[in-house]
């Protein structure tokens, strides 16, 4: 099983593989820079090389990146939209240096301009990013969202629309966040509800596009459209929901990435629950 967590980069990248291993993780997710700033100083290449060496040494199978939350590719305001595009191009470059193949981001918020406007704006932005970026070894990865405020991506149709409209769909992948889809209204707990959700994902997007799963429980109820993560088994999705997800063969080769409250300090608690589910202790 590929299991990782979002890791802090405050001490640089090179220490991440050893910390991940000590927690019991074999994958990781990082921000490529201070995510509250648009621009950041160039990467320290000694740190980057050591990160790659340590990834091998400590058995890190894959690291993915999460883009800055400042980015809004659906922004109606031109200045903000262009800044967001530039920031994504900048982050693609950093991913490439770090040998990170997937840059995950929330598709964007239309800010009242309507969903059609927002979705087309995102399509145009992605085309621009791919055109402007010299990087060829990093894919843009759309994350499913909870649909808070005017955020797009809370329906599988939204992601499908974007993938079908961009000029190079091979450069676009998908990350499924379990908390987000549940908050957006996709059932995960009952066997039937779970199957309906995953069949819909297969029909609208397809598992072949899926490159990561954000494994989070939800502090808010089904369809609440509120994005609030909970530790695995302690939210509304609960152990039954995670049993469906974790034992589903369709996720066998996809990295699960924890983004649960408490971060690195509390991931061991999430891992214990995951272990219990695998050992059948909660059946």
Binding residues (CB under 5 A) for Zn ion: these are 177, 214, 227
- In the residue annotation, 180 being an active-site residue is answered as yes
Work out how close the CB of 121 gets to Zn ion at its nearest, in angstroms, rounded to a whole number: 22
- In the residue annotation, 229 being an active-site residue is answered as yes
Q: Is 114 helix (H, G, I), strand (E, B) or coil?
A: coil
- In the residue annotation, 227 being an active-site residue is answered as yes
Q: CA 173 to CA 142: how far, in whole Å?
A: 6
Among the listed residues 91, 143, 217, 219, the single catalytic one is 143
Angle between helices 263-278 and 16-23 in degrees, nearest 10: 40
- In the residue annotation, 161 being an active-site residue is answered as no
Tell me whether residue 14 or residue 141 sits nearer to Zn ion (CB atom): 141
Sign of the torsion formed by the C-alpha atoms of 152, 210, 65 and 263: positive
Q: Is 101 helix (H, G, I), strand (E, B) or coil?
A: coil
- In the residue annotation, 110 being an active-site residue is answered as no
Residues in Cβ contact with 184 at an 8 Å cutoff, skipping those fewer than 6 apart: 144, 145, 146, 147, 154, 155, 223, 225
- In the residue annotation, 66 being an active-site residue is answered as yes
Tell me whether residue 213 or residue 246 sits nearer to Zn ion (CB atom): 213
Tell me whether residue 88 or residue 97 sits nearer to Zn ion (CB atom): 88
Closest CA to 258 of 67, 92, 72, 66: 66
Work out how close the CB of 235 gets to Zn ion at its nearest, in angstroms, rounded to a whole number: 12
Work out how close the CB of 214 gets to Zn ion at its nearest, in angstroms, rounded to a whole number: 3
Among the listed residues 187, 217, 219, 227, the single catalytic one is 227
Q: Is 264 helix (H, G, I), strand (E, B) or coil?
A: helix
Tell me whether residue 114 or residue 149 sits nearer to Zn ion (CB atom): 149
- In the residue annotation, 6 being an active-site residue is answered as no
Work out how close the CB of 107 gets to Zn ion at its nearest, in angstroms, rounded to a whole number: 12
What amino acid positions are annotated as catalytic residues? Answer: 36, 66, 69, 106, 143, 177, 180, 214, 227, 229, 259
């Amino acid at each position: 099983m590929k299991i990782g967590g979002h890791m802090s980069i405050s001490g640089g990248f090179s220490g991440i593989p050893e910390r991940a291993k000590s927690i019991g993780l074999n994958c990781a997710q990082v921000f490529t820079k201070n995510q509250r700033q648009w621009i950041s100083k160039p990467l320290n290449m000694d740190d980057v090389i050591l990160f790659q060496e340590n990834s091998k040494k400590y058995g890190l199978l894959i690291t993915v990146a999460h883009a800055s939350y400042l980015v809004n590719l659906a922004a109606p305001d031109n200045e903000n939209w262009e800044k967001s595009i530039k920031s994504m191009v900048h982050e693609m470059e950093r991913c490439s240096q770090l040998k990170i193949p997937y840059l995950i981001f929330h598709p964007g918020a239309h800010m009242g301009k309507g969903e059609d406007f927002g979705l087309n704006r995102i399509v145009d932005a992605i085309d621009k990013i791919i055109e402007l970026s010299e990087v060829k070894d990093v894919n843009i990865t759309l994350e499913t969202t909870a649909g808070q405020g005017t955020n797009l991506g809370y329906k599988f149709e939204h992601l499908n629309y974007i993938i079908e409209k961009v000029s190079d769909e091979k450069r676009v992948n998908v990350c499924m966040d379990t908390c987000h889809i549940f908050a957006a209204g996709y059932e995960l707990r009952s066997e039937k509800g779970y199957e309906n959700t995953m069949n819909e994902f297969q029909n609208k997007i397809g598992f072949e596009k899926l490159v990561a799963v954000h494994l989070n429980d939800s502090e808010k109820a089904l369809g609440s459209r509120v994005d609030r993560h909970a530790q695995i088994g302690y939210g509304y999705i609960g152990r039954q929901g995670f049993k469906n997800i974790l034992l589903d063969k369709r996720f066998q080769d996809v990295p699960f990435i924890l983004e649960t409250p408490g971060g690195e300090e509390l991931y061991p608690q999430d891992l214990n629950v995951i272990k219990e589910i695998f050992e059948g202790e909660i059946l």
